[in-house]
Structure 1
Amino acid sequence: MNKLQLSSKKIITWLCVNYGIFILAFLVLGTLSSEYKAIIWINFFLDVAICVISLVLNIILFFQKHETSLFVKLVLLFITLFLAAFTYYAFIMPECGLPSVLFS
């Protein structure tokens, strides 16, 4: 069975696609009112899945066989960690001045 071979360019492309989908999904959430709970939950699980996939791709990118600048690797990792923290902040954490979207 052939392993899926990912080059650095493919990984970076997939990370950028994941970031774009994350932003579009969150903008869709902002355009809908809070009465659509199913869409909010689907958006939450989509954002969590995107963060997990992006984190796995970042870990793969840190392997030695990928000849990418350390700066680029760190920037992509920080973007992923920021999006994960933003998901936690926006959906779950109610004491930040925003109401908890999932449990309101």
Structure 2
Amino acid sequence: MSVRLLEPAQAELDEAIGWYAEQAPGLGDAFLLETLKVLKLIEQFPQAWHPLTLEIRRCRLKRFPYSVVYTLDAADILVLAVAHQHRKPSYWRNRILPSH
């Protein structure tokens, strides 16, 4: 299985990295590394995390208040959002493909 990020999810990741990089030296890199670690875990164990619906799951980052929201799309893991846990819950729901 491979992990793919929807374009809006990639933009969210890039924005969060930039924001954390402005807060303290190395913090943006730390956010990226933790996100990559979570993506690798999701790739290895796609069914392991909290189900939000029958087809959508969420894996929370440990150090940062973000979650990776994803679904399984054929042979891939499709990341719908890199979502801040305290802002606009479920804003990403309109990103779900019609087949889901």
Same fold (TM over 0.5): no
Q: Which structure dedicates a bigger proportion of its chain to helix? A: 1
Q: Which structure dedicates a bigger proportion of its chain to strand? A: 2
Provide the TM-score with structure 2 as the length reference.
0.31
